[in-house]
Structure 1
């Protein structure tokens, strides 16, 4: 997928605002402005008092003798040139040219005002290694080392692999100290250090494969995932789901690489820190919830009839009992929102792309969801939705409503409603910024390609009943959907188990989620 590259002018404006807002910059500008307003304070007083004085003759005589004026033919402009040059020289108090603009871009974090006491941290790390056998640490010993480094517990795998533990199975104190000292001296915040530990050498960001060893360690050691460790077949499925959720939320540029700045702006590192204090993994709803993974994977398994871990257009058309229009499904498979992966089957959608689809479909209030569906509806890729594009999608929507016995609105009436709803800056053209600012992107998108949600919303508005009166107002639309679907799946499997107990037969694997050895992917 082509990345969303920022415009050059917007980036230049952003960097200029950062530079202008820096306290060092403001002090330098204030000093320069004072020099402009009071030039006498920085100029040579002697030169200003005697502008026509001879700079060569510097001796003073109380009774100077009159000197003959030089002949016009022999007069030169040398003294005046030297004198003018003296006026332009900066004063000793002014900063030298090129050094008055302070640094304002810190890709690895802003260095601390006071020098960091690195040696104290290194001493704690060496003390932690002294308590280990032979002074070497395996992956199972890295918890105490991570604490000595001042890092969250689940940084232990990135610390271990960054020091070369994957090659030798353990790391020595000298190897680890050399690595950690270099990280402390070059990376000045958690985001930069996490990228340095988890990323590949020389890379300034994280790709999806970089998260695999970190998440595998979470699966192997978190108490809330103890039941999943025996079902090794589903480790990769859970890890893939969490990775896609991380990139869906954090990678706001759609570039396929999470930058340090994106990591700083997200809540991912805070969620990693909370893993240690939260034994119930299902309470980590932002990224790590097993219940959310169970719902996503079961929804995909229901559509994947041939069990090849890919779905085609006809499979996706069955999602939500056929709620999504065929024209929108064609746009999803066109490559507008799917990422290029090799090898890739033509006309197929993999599990990773399905995660993005389901997150976007069930919660249209997030920025990524708005961008997802906007890309699908923007047929010509010009960054704006025209009336032609809206009519193209609404034409099938109107036919689907008529097939259900509902009289659809004429397009020009619907167009007036959505224009009043969104209030675009340019009449007749709806941009991504307009949809994000109006805060009603979900209502807008459902009106054009999801007939079930559109009709349900219309009925609620006519009845005057709010949506989800009994749900937690702090929970997102995706959290409410996942909780409802998980309860439904658990009840469905419980009913299937009761029926089999009555018949005296073996339990039925309702979703085909058992491996050959009998390990089930089961609800909590």
Structure 2
């Protein structure tokens, strides 16, 4: 029942103040449930009083369409929504704001068409310029309009290529790779990836478009696209990691087609061996394992080296990934001591580098490969780890070999047998060498990593060696006898050295030495013909100068079989 209560001052006022009052017995009880917390959002704070859970098609009224464009056509403070408009919570959640493509200046709001009900991109006309777009690491994905326009331009290029070249093949895809902002030598792998991804016998623009749209939907930078292409071209479907053997087709293609490797054309065995050694060193330097992930590929210089190869005037020495100098040095050292089965055994490795290697470490390394010995790829890893001990992969390599009990720490029990082997070789080789006790020797080596008071309680982890920055000096005490003697002879061996790759310096110096030795051998191996008393060319026999390592490589087929 509603009562009309008149004010006492009504007679003094020209206006009558009527206050409607609800009867106390009819007052509705308060709800026991507290009201839900309103979201802390400027847009949602204007809407809750008009919400209704009655479902109906979105965009029925002009008022609702205006609500969906809040923040686009006018500021939120100036917008006034009629109370008759009702929007459900479920439909309100569909109002989302997306990241803007790189061609737009502001975020893009999705508006729903009243006629067709489809989602359309609407470019903001007047938004607050103080709001910055979201930062996407490694760049965002290509937006659909930009991808469509790119493929439309590429379609005309496909038509011109097929018109002048004919049917598309692995070699003609070099131009397509350049148009896609990829290294040109990835073209062969790109062709095979499209062929295996679509399963078509003939690669057309339609099949390439299908593959490229699938790749662009998941990958946004060169390392991720390169992994997508290489894994698809070999395994038939994209994978998240590269495995040993995935680089081999790419490296073989580069060696066969790049002008700086033209002297190897026709020598199939040398090309394959070159590609295998380069692939193993790439995996060892990038990840140190038999797999490579996308973050590891981004952190390496692999993609930059591939882009360098687009310059046809570049030399192989400028590309660390495919350096012919390091391959030449590795193969020359390997085939000098290899057995008849083209492998190196335990005794062969002990004699390498004048017998300076620690016998215990060589035994542990060669045990992994059984009785057949190690191949040239395994020997390449050993040589790189020996001459580049500061590399993180080399540190982990030598740490696992030095950890004799495999407990994850280097202790006195691990290093004492290594000390005995190195110390014995130094005493035999250098007559003036003064023997050093095991305690003093191990303490001096451990001081390179961290101070240790008692050698019996020493525990050194792989992380300690990497953090110290003196991995090369530490491992030289236990890996190679002649390097250990050089540390004992000089107080600070690094004071005069330049901060550059020692592996590269070693390869360049060794390559220059082998080249000079090769020239001397050529001049001495081809003297003027000698005639005997009968006028017949005499056989040189023991009088001929013995061939050096370069001629030995030729006798073992270093230059392969010409095809």
TM-score scaled to structure 2, two decimals? 0.69
Does the residue aligned with 2:182 lie in a helix, a strand or coil? coil
- For these two proteins, the number of residue pairs brought into alignment is 434
Structure 1 position 456 matched with structure 2 position 486: yes
| Superposed displacement of residue 512, structure 1 | 3.3
Equivalences for residues 19-418 of structure 1 within 5 A: 62-67=20-25, 79=30, 81-82=32-33, 84=34, 86-88=35-37, 90=39, 111-112=140-141, 117-133=146-162, 136-164=167-195, 171-199=203-231, 200=235, 201-252=237-288, 254=289, 256-277=290-311, 279-306=313-340, 308-335=341-368, 345-346=370-371, 348-404=373-429, 405=431, 406-418=433-445
User: Residues 256-314 of structure 1: CA distance to partner in whole angstroms, max 9, x if unpaired?
Assistant: 121111111111001100111253433234210111110011111112032x2211111
User: Residues 342-364 of structure 1: CA distance to partner in whole angstroms, max 9, x if unpaired?
Assistant: xx653511221111101001111
Q: Which moved more, 1:290-299 or 1:151-160?
A: 151-160
Structure 2 unaligned regions, length at least 5 = 1-17, 45-88, 100-134, 530-539
Does the residue aligned with 2:458 lie in a helix, a strand or coil? coil
Q: Distance in 2 between matches of 1:425 and 1:110?
A: 48
Q: Which moved more, 1:510-519 or 1:222-231?
A: 510-519
Structure 1 unaligned regions, length at least 5 = 1-59, 71-77, 336-343
Q: Distance in 1 between matches of 2:334 and 2:556?
A: 20
Please say which structure displays the higher CA radius of gyration. 2
- State whether residues 162 and 197 of structure 1, in contact with CA within 8 Å, keep that contact through their aligned partners in structure 2: yes
- State whether residues 141 and 216 of structure 2, in contact with CA within 8 Å, keep that contact through their aligned partners in structure 1: no
User: Residues 396-453 of structure 1: CA distance to partner in whole angstroms, max 9, x if unpaired?
Assistant: 2122222223223212112322232211699721111111111111111111131111
- Decide whether aligned partners of structure 1 residues 161 and 111 sit closer, same or farther in structure 2, where only a CA change above 3 A counts: same
Q: Distance in 2 between matches of 1:149 and 1:371?
A: 38
- State whether residues 410 and 461 of structure 2, in contact with CA within 8 Å, keep that contact through their aligned partners in structure 1: yes
Q: Distance in 2 between matches of 1:143 and 1:89?
A: 58
**TM-align CA RMSD:** 3.6
Aligned equivalent of 1:513: 553
Structure 1 position 436 matched with structure 2 position 466: yes
- State whether residues 142 and 216 of structure 2, in contact with CA within 8 Å, keep that contact through their aligned partners in structure 1: no
Aligned equivalent of 1:52: none
- State whether residues 370 and 436 of structure 1, in contact with CA within 8 Å, keep that contact through their aligned partners in structure 2: yes
- State whether residues 324 and 449 of structure 1, in contact with CA within 8 Å, keep that contact through their aligned partners in structure 2: yes
Bigger helix share:
1
- Decide whether aligned partners of structure 1 residues 150 and 395 sit closer, same or farther in structure 2, where only a CA change above 3 A counts: same
- State whether residues 285 and 479 of structure 1, in contact with CA within 8 Å, keep that contact through their aligned partners in structure 2: no
User: Residues 124-162 of structure 1: CA distance to partner in whole angstroms, max 9, x if unpaired?
Assistant: 322222122456321221222112112121221221111
User: Residues 215-243 of structure 1: CA distance to partner in whole angstroms, max 9, x if unpaired?
Assistant: 12101110000010121121110000110
Aligned equivalent of 2:506: 481
- Decide whether aligned partners of structure 1 residues 137 and 365 sit closer, same or farther in structure 2, where only a CA change above 3 A counts: same
| Superposed displacement of residue 120, structure 1 | 2.4
Aligned equivalent of 2:116: none
- State whether residues 460 and 466 of structure 1, in contact with CA within 8 Å, keep that contact through their aligned partners in structure 2: no
TM-score scaled to structure 1, two decimals? 0.74
Greater RCO, 1 or 2 (C-alpha within 8 Å, sep 6+): 1
Q: Distance in 2 between matches of 1:231 and 1:119?
A: 44
